[in-house]
Every structure is written in structure tokens, then in C-alpha cells.
Chains A and B, each alone.
Chain A
């Protein structure tokens, strides 16, 4: 039934195909656009439409239910980008993260619920992926604002939920940054990640802070330089989403931890 509704909604909003350009350069149509925070993206459609974001409801989605693996559906709610119909929008200096850009005639603003990538299974939904820069930390910022999935799973032919930027958990976020840099590290959870790491005392951006049950990555060394303290910023999948948090606000410093860096 949900798939039927999704199909009807997709059909209903099938006004035309979204086209776009990046920094005034037209791009071939694709369901994913990779950009940086310094970029400008223009979206076009041939008929005037309302432009919307599909925003995931941020919470912990549990892929383990009643002691069994299952796939939890992510809830995406439409949110207006434009209050009036137009055939063109311009996004300048977007914040890092993953966005779903779509068009609608507002006759139906149905919520989408799916564990599959909605940009690959619905028409006229484009995944806009924005990163800060081309560093390890920079690639991790692509997942900011995506929901926490425990644990993210391989969706058969579609790929892994973290590679698809549907959502992630703590260790998988740290691995995602490496995978985006071209390293073939499998998604293997907080216990499995350790074999790809080596202990370090050198605290700097990108250092893995392993709390056992939680993996965070140092985003910025604030406070006492070279020492982990409550002023430091970490990027991590924590509670309900991927976020950059002041360590002192997380409560994580109450726990013992180990520092790691990626093996060469």
C-alpha cells in the first residue's frame, strides 16, 4: 500500500525532470550531485513548480528488531524551499550535508517512508551532497544531518545505506570518510574498525576517539591543544543523527576512551 501511495505521489509530481547546473556548468542528469560549500547550484524544471526538500525525520532507526535483522523505513517529510511556483532555484554556499531536492504541485505532500534510496526509487528527487572540502573530515561532513541507523545495512544491488547517504552509525561514519577518499575499508562496526586503526597519542583533526560503544572523530582541537577536553569539537553519528558537537555537551567524556589513527 505504501509503495502504491509512493507511486501515485511520484506520478502526481511527475511534472518534468529536474535539471541542474553546478557553478553555471550544466551537468548530465543524475540522481546524485556532489558539491562543496563554495559551490552554487541551479535547479531547473520546465514548468513552474513548488520546490521542496525531503527531510529525514531524525531519530535512531533500528535495523535490529526483536533480536532479528530487519530494515527500518526512514521517514522523509516534504518542506518547502520556495513559497511560490518557479521553474528555477539557486542554492549558494550550501551547508555541508545530504539534501533531497524535489518539485511538487502541492496537491499531495505525502511523506515518504522507505529504507531504499528515495532518489533512486522516485522520480524527480535529486540527492544533493555537500562537503566542506576534500579532506577526510571534509568527506565525513557529507553525512551531516542524516539519521542514525543501527546498524546501517547493505541494500543488495543498491549498495550500503551509508554509501548511499541514507543514514549511518558511529563507526560507519568514520569509515565512510575513508571510503570516499578511495580506501576500500568495509563497513564493520565499532569492534571491526579497530583492525584498520593503530593507537596514537597525537590528537589532531581526524583522530578517532573510541569509547568502545561509540566512535567519534576529532573535528577541531579547541581548548587545550593536543589534549582531549570538553571544548573539542567532534563529528560523529550520535543519538539521532550525524552532527558536529562540542565534546563537553555530549556526556561522552564521562567514559574511558582510546585514541586511534588510521593505519597507513
Chain B
């Protein structure tokens, strides 16, 4: 969340940039849940072990039911496993996509069961996940299996599936960076409420969210009380009342990680940069080249005049596309170094843009940008977006640039040294 604020609080001054947007990625899955007993024989759930592992945009679910047939005859049983999906902007056609549940398997006493899949095209309404006062349309997709439980006996039914969690990411032409929204996994216990006495004798749940934690993401789980240990959430409940149990809602994001990957994906290759020149370098080890090596352990340090105010960095390109410029301020080696040296507070960016009517000529565009004073936080090559300040954002467009000049107009003064440091300048473009 902190990172998103970082990107979007920056004021962008541009008369050219207008906004238009559209969904860029998402999944329409709304919720999944316990299996439904379709033909209602006298079956009790003695035990349910529900294990969920969240990795990136997917949940890997392994649920094991111990079922007992309490009747006096063998029962042929039909079970349906429901997945509800929404109509959303990206999936306006409202049809089921196999990518929502790319893997699913049923096992009865470790023996694989044949699965029938069908989609119920009737539409029902649910409260919108994203907006108040609106309802979403949902349809239900069914995975159905048939099997038999002999009279007065117990079987183990295991369902393993990989499901894409629900989300909507948006891109819009005013900004280079996408709008990443929370991912949702909703588990509905109520489908199983008609079994036996409507409760599960023993219910165990484990949610492995280590991938989210490792990616410095945020996670929230509601609907069930869980204890957490190193990213593993768990609970054991006796006589779990399916009728009263609310939906379990897992919402999470890994926005810092995802935006870091996004930046890496669109980083202008180094060979596009023809020349780098700065107004001063403290030493060859602290030269301006360090700002373009994608190594956060190296930094550019100015010679130490006026805390860096007035220093200039010139980047020569050759008709290169350019959508955005990011900057990792200060000396990122450690917290002390970060605060000991000055950091850019206000910069001017002068662009020499190729005149599309006559490519031998250029037009100049100038912007000034105020940078937030971002609190130091350790970064690595996979998680660094939280420390990136956007100093220019040209959104979508076909602009070609020959030269960028960045001038330091003001600084956050260092605690110890008169030099300014910049760890990285990130030139971003759609190639």
C-alpha cells in the first residue's frame, strides 16, 4: 500500500497526457467452497482437513473429507463442487474459462474419480466485492463426481485443485504504472450444511501464506479465527457449524513485488543509453554510471558542492521510446548511508523529443517534479518498487527521445556529508 501511495502521490505536470484506461489482467472467480451433496443421502462429514497454499495469483487447495454413510443401504452419491464466477470488465462475455481452475482432481480412498464439468448459465446476484451499493452478476461452474459409499462405512474423499484468485488490475494511458488491486479467495462453507446434522465433527484448516509474506505483501483473513506462525495460519474446530459459518475471505496483495517485476520488465536495455554525463563525480567508484547498472549496492555520489543543488545528469539516447523515469534516491547501502548523504527533493527534467514530422529536428519539453522523502527500507532486486520515486510519467504514447537532462533543484539535506547520492535511475519504456 505504501508503495502505491508513493507512485500516485507524485504530481505529474504534463499538458499532453490524457487518461484512458482499461482492464489489463484479472480473474473473474468469485468464490469456491465445500462440496454439495446433490442427491441427499444420509451422509455425515466426520472430518474435514482444508489446506490452502497461496502462491502469486493462485490458491492451491487440498481438502480431505471423511464421510460416513449412516443409512442401512449402499448409497450411490453425486457430489458437486461449485465455483462461482463474476461478470467483470475483463470478462464481459461472462463465460467460464478453464484457466480459472487449471487443475482439479478427486480421489475416493486414494482412487481417482472421473469428473464431469458443467456451467449453470442462470445468473444470480451477489454484493460487489469492490464497490458499495452495487451487486455483481455471478454464474456457477460445477465439477461433479459419482461414487458409492457402502452402508455403515466410512470413506475418504480428497479434492485437490488449483484456482485463480479473483482480482482486477487496471492500466490507463495517463500513467505508465498499472493499478494493482487486492486478490480475493472466498471459501463458502454453507454448501455442505445439509449433510447430516449440518456440522463437521472435526474441522482443521491451514493456510500457507508464506509466499505473500516473502514478497512483503499484505494479507487479511476474515470469517474464521486463526492463529498465525511465520505466515502459516491454522485452526482446529470441533463441531464446526456449517450453517452459521460465514464465508472465509482471504484478501491479499504483493504490490511491491509485482510493481518491481513490472519495472524490470520495461526497463530500457542498457545499450539504448549512448552516453551518461554528470556535472560531478566524487570518484570513479562513485561515478554516474552507477545509476544505470541496476545494482542497488552502488551509487552515484556528487563531488560535494552545495549539498548537490544544481548538479546535472545528462543521458543521451537515440530516438528511444520513453514512458517513465523512476529514481531510487540516496545511498541505499544501509540506513545510515541513506540519511548521511543528501537526497533529491525537487528535480527538473528536460527532454529532447524527436519531432515526428521531421525526425532530424527535436522539440524540448520541461517538467519539474517534487519527490517525497521516502523512509529508508531495505531493498533487493525482486522487491524495490517501494523506494522508487516517479520523476516523470508520460504514460502510453509513441514519443521518441534523444536526450534527458535531470537537474537537482532542491535536496533533503544529508545528516553528515555535503554530497548528493542517487542509487538508480530507471528509464522505462514499451519497446
A: residues with CB less than 8 A from B are 3, 60, 62-64, 66-71, 116, 150-151, 153-158, 160, 169-172, 184, 186-193, 211-215, 237-239, 251, 254-258
- Known A192-B24, A213-B397, A215-B20; contact A256-B89, beta-carbon cutoff 8 A: no
Nearest-CB residue, chain B, relative to A189 = B22
* Nearest CB of chain A from residue B139's CB, rounded to whole Å: 13
* Nearest CB of chain B from residue A125's CB, rounded to whole Å: 18
| Residue in contact with A214 in the complex, picked from B4, B18, B170, CB distance below 8 Å | B18
- Listed residue (A3, A71, A151, A170) with the most chain B CB atoms within 10 angstroms of its CB: A151
Besides A67-B5, A212-B397, A257-B398, 12 more A-B contacts (Cβ < 8 Å) are A64-B170, A69-B168, A151-B20, A154-B88, A154-B92, A156-B134, A172-B22, A213-B20, A213-B395, A213-B397, A251-B15, A256-B400
Q: Does B81 have its Cβ within 8 Å of any Cβ on chain A? A: no
Majority secondary structure, B binding face: loop
* Nearest CB of chain B from residue A171's CB, rounded to whole Å: 5
- For B380-424 the 0/1 string (1 means CB < 8 A from A) is 000000000000001111111000000000000000000000000
Asked whether, in the complex, the Cβ of B179 is within 8 Å of the Cβ of A68, the reply is yes
* Nearest CB of chain B from residue A149's CB, rounded to whole Å: 9
Distance between Cα atoms of A67 and B172 in the complex (Å): 11
- Known A188-B22, A189-B173, A213-B18; contact A153-B398, beta-carbon cutoff 8 A: no
Asked whether, in the complex, the Cβ of A191 is within 8 Å of the Cβ of B24, the reply is yes
- For B9-37 the 0/1 string (1 means CB < 8 A from A) is 00000011111111110000000000000
* Nearest CB of chain B from residue A108's CB, rounded to whole Å: 22
- Listed residue (A150, A155, A189, A255) with the most chain B CB atoms within 10 angstroms of its CB: A189
B20 contacts across to A, CB distance below 8 A: 150-151, 169-172, 189-190, 213-215, 237
Distance between Cα atoms of A203 and B87 in the complex (Å): 36
A-B contact count (CB 8 A): 149
Distance between Cα atoms of A29 and B363 in the complex (Å): 57
A71 contacts across to B, CB distance below 8 A: 131, 134
| Residue in contact with B137 in the complex, picked from A156, A190, A258, CB distance below 8 Å | A156
Asked whether, in the complex, the Cβ of A69 is within 8 Å of the Cβ of B179, the reply is yes
Nearest-CB residue, chain A, relative to B125 = A157
Asked whether, in the complex, the Cβ of A67 is within 8 Å of the Cβ of B18, the reply is no
B394 contacts across to A, CB distance below 8 A: 213
Q: Does B308 have its Cβ within 8 Å of any Cβ on chain A? A: no
Q: 20 A-B residue contacts at CB 8 Å?
A: A66-B5, A67-B7, A68-B179, A69-B181, A70-B131, A151-B21, A153-B89, A156-B131, A170-B20, A171-B20, A186-B89, A186-B92, A187-B22, A187-B89, A188-B23, A189-B24, A190-B21, A190-B173, A255-B397, A256-B399
Distance between Cα atoms of A250 and B181 in the complex (Å): 34
B23 contacts across to A, CB distance below 8 A: 188-189, 192
B90 contacts across to A, CB distance below 8 A: 186, 188
- Listed residue (B22, B134, B170) with the most chain A CB atoms within 10 angstroms of its CB: B22
B79-102: which have CB < 8 Å to A? 87-90, 92-93
Q: Does B372 have its Cβ within 8 Å of any Cβ on chain A? A: no
* Nearest CB of chain A from residue B188's CB, rounded to whole Å: 19
Distance between Cα atoms of A258 and B7 in the complex (Å): 29
Q: Does B262 have its Cβ within 8 Å of any Cβ on chain A? A: no
Asked whether, in the complex, the Cβ of B398 is within 8 Å of the Cβ of A67, the reply is no
- Listed residue (B8, B24, B131, B395) with the most chain A CB atoms within 10 angstroms of its CB: B131
Q: Does B171 have its Cβ within 8 Å of any Cβ on chain A? A: yes
B19 contacts across to A, CB distance below 8 A: 60, 62, 150-151, 169, 213
A188 contacts across to B, CB distance below 8 A: 22-23, 90
* Nearest CB of chain A from residue B30's CB, rounded to whole Å: 12
| Residue in contact with B18 in the complex, picked from A70, A153, A192, A238, CB distance below 8 Å | A238
* Nearest CB of chain A from residue B358's CB, rounded to whole Å: 12
B400 contacts across to A, CB distance below 8 A: 256
Asked whether, in the complex, the Cβ of B15 is within 8 Å of the Cβ of A189, the reply is no
Nearest-CB residue, chain B, relative to A175 = B22
* Nearest CB of chain A from residue B5's CB, rounded to whole Å: 7
Asked whether, in the complex, the Cβ of A191 is within 8 Å of the Cβ of B7, the reply is no
Distance between Cα atoms of A64 and B179 in the complex (Å): 8
- Listed residue (B92, B170, B394, B395) with the most chain A CB atoms within 10 angstroms of its CB: B92
